[in-house]
């Protein structure tokens, strides 16, 4: 979900410099059910985790043409108490010959990538006696060094590592902070491999913050409290690692803090910025500047640049634009914007941006301003919160709600973002 380096940076090259008229070519699309989980792609296979009626469904497809290879399903009785969406929040994880899924109701499964057969499973909420969180389970598992690391959220087992082959508990780390919606990430701090967990979910009073753990033992080497004061606040944005510094950010009041982590794991704030509060999207770092979306809802979501050294805002904008789209009854004028957008930083420095309502943009992000290099309207549907996935020049985008113009239901779409292959000279 966050890319191979867990920071929404991509090493893909030879991509389109401009969008063709009408946008990039649609290679294939398939219907999808409820859920905000993004696809996982590896070895030519794509795995999608979603909800169809009362079943949580795992579909494995050919990443090139969308042809279904196998399907695994399990009953799911989860209901979102706020009525947003009843599907999974956690993207699947492919590790070698295994697929890991973590459902909104706490069902953790390890499946065989080749067939979808169940290798092992856990009913995490029941086994660890965890209370259902605000929006169900939302912290995707992390596979690291043969372990599946999960922010379970029990006081005696805040973070748990399962053996990826057997499913047996390898270690558990006790902490009072509950489960969040942020994916754990891998970091190398002062030459040492560490797991970073931004914990904290439903609790009264609201508690949570950054946990730093040894991946072999689960020992907590660092801990820094960071959480909004509202009861209905969530820590949903994964930590961002820049060298030996870590950004943690939330949008319910605390905002963002950049931490300096020493060799022992102790965390010292370098700066705080209440106006750099990411919700569930990730900030990206480029050349000493942080770029991200500050705001809780679409009406107060701003694209912001922050100086990495000082935490000072360099600029703050609210990208919006009028557009004309073709509807079944003729041209229709609309106004959309980036709102709670996802940013994907590419190897050449450009940024691919997916807006909340289905707009795809090429952006040039720099400390002075942002510059729109290209924009195309893909669909008109809210909740396009799932980050785009880019693999082998193909871009995978989740349309999570029905298109308001063409009434197309939720879909997974695959677009060709590959540039034309240069002709070889004789």
Token representation of residue 160? 């748990």
Statement: residue 65 has pLDDT above 90:
yes
| C-alpha span between 146 and 165 (Å, rounded) | 8
- Out of 138, 169, 202, a domain closes at 138
| 110 or 233, which is more confident | 110
Together in a domain, 407 and 387: yes
Mean pLDDT taken over the chain: 95
pLDDT band at 421 (very low <50, low <70, confident <90, very high): low
CA–CA distances in Å: residue 254 to residues 59, 134, 211, 230, 244: 38, 19, 17, 10, 22
State the pLDDT at residue 422.
Answer: 54
pLDDT tens, position by position, 360-387: 999 999 999 999 999 999 999 999 999 9
Flag whether 417 is in a domain.
yes
What b/e string do you get for 319-355 counting C-beta neighbours within 10 Å, with b at 16 or more? Answer: beeeeeeeeeeeeeeeebbbbbbbbbbbeeebbbbbb
Together in a domain, 420 and 409: yes
Contact 106, 128 (CB under 8 A): no
Flag whether 405 is in a domain.
yes
| 6 or 380, which is more confident | 380
Flag whether 237 is in a domain.
no
Statement: residue 424 has pLDDT above 70:
no
Mean pLDDT of 249-273: 97
Together in a domain, 23 and 69: no
pTM for the full predicted model: 0.96
State the pLDDT at residue 12.
Answer: 94
| C-alpha span between 229 and 243 (Å, rounded) | 29
CATH (domain of 91): 2.40.10.480
Together in a domain, 20 and 58: no
pLDDT tens, position by position, 78-99: 998 888 899 999 999 999 999 9
Tell me which residue range forms the domain holding 89.
Answer: 37-138
Q: Which residues contact 89 (CB under 8 A, 6 or more apart)?
A: 35, 36, 37, 104, 135, 136, 137, 138, 140, 181
Cβ neighbours around 225 below 10 Å, total: 13
Mean pLDDT of 268-292: 97
Q: Where are the beta strands (DSSP E) in 318-422?
A: 320-327, 330-337, 342-345, 351-354, 359-365, 370-377, 389-391, 394-399, 411-416
State the pLDDT at residue 423.
Answer: 47
- Out of 83, 106, 138, a domain closes at 138
- Out of 114, 138, 162, a domain closes at 138
pLDDT tens, position by position, 211-257: 999 999 999 999 999 999 988 888 999 999 999 999 999 999 999 99
| C-alpha span between 19 and 379 (Å, rounded) | 15
Together in a domain, 17 and 98: no
CA–CA distances in Å: residue 277 to residues 48, 96, 225, 306: 29, 35, 15, 11
Q: How many domains does the chain have?
A: 2
Contact 391, 47 (CB under 8 A): no
Flag whether 265 is in a domain.
no
Token representation of residue 322? 């009028």
């Amino acid at each position: 979900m966050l890319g191979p380096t867990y920071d929404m940076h991509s090493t893909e090259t030879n991509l389109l410099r401009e969008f063709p008229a009408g946008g990039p070519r649609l290679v294939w699309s398939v219907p999808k059910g409820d859920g905000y989980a993004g696809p996982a792609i590896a070895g030519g296979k794509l795995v999608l985790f979603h909800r169809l009626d009362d079943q949580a469904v795992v579909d494995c497809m050919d990443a090139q043409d969308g042809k279904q290879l196998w399907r695994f399903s399990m009953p799911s009785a989860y209901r979102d108490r706020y009525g947003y969406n009843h599907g999974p929040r956690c993207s699947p994880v492919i590790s070698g010959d295994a697929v890991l899924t973590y459902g909104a109701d706490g069902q953790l499964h390890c499946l065989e990538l080749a067939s979808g057969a169940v290798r092992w499973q856990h009913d995490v909420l029941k086994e660890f006696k965890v209370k259902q969180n605000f929006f169900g389970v939302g912290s995707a598992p992390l596979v690291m060094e043969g372990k599946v690391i999960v922010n379970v959220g029990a006081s005696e087992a805040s973070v748990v590592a399962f053996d990826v082959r057997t499913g047996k508990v390898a270690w558990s780390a006790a902490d009072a902070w509950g489960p969040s919606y942020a994916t754990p990430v891998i970091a190398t701090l002062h030459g040492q491999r560490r797991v970073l967990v931004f914990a904290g979910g439903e609790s009264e009073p609201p508690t949570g913050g950054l946990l730093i753990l040894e991946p072999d033992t689960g020992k907590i080497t660092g801990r820094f409290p960071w959480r909004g004061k509202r009861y209905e606040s969530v820590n949903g944005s994964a930590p961002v690692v820049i060298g030996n510094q870590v950004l943690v950010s939330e949008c319910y009041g605390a905002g963002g803090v950049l931490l300096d982590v020493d060799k022992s794991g102790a965390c010292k704030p370098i700066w705080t910025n209440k106006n750099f509060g990411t919700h569930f999207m990730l900030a990206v770092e480029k050349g000493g500047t942080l770029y991200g979306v500050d705001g809780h809802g679409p009406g107060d979501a701003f694209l912001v640049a922050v100086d990495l050294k000082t935490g000072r805002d360099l600029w703050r904008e609210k990208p919006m634009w009028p557009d004309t789209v073709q509807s079944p009854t003729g041209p229709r004028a609309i106004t959309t914007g980036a709102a709670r957008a996802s940013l994907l930083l590419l190897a050449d420095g450009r940024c691919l941006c997916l807006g909340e309502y289905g707009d795809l943009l090429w952006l040039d992000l720099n400390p002075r301003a942002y510059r729109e290099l290209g924009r195309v309207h893909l669909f008109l549907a809210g909740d396009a919160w799932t980050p785009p996935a880019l693999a082998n020049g193909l871009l995978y985008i989740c349309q999570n709600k029905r298109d308001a113009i063409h009434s197309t239901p939720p879909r997974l779409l695959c677009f060709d973002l590959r540039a034309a292959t240069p002709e070889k000279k004789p």
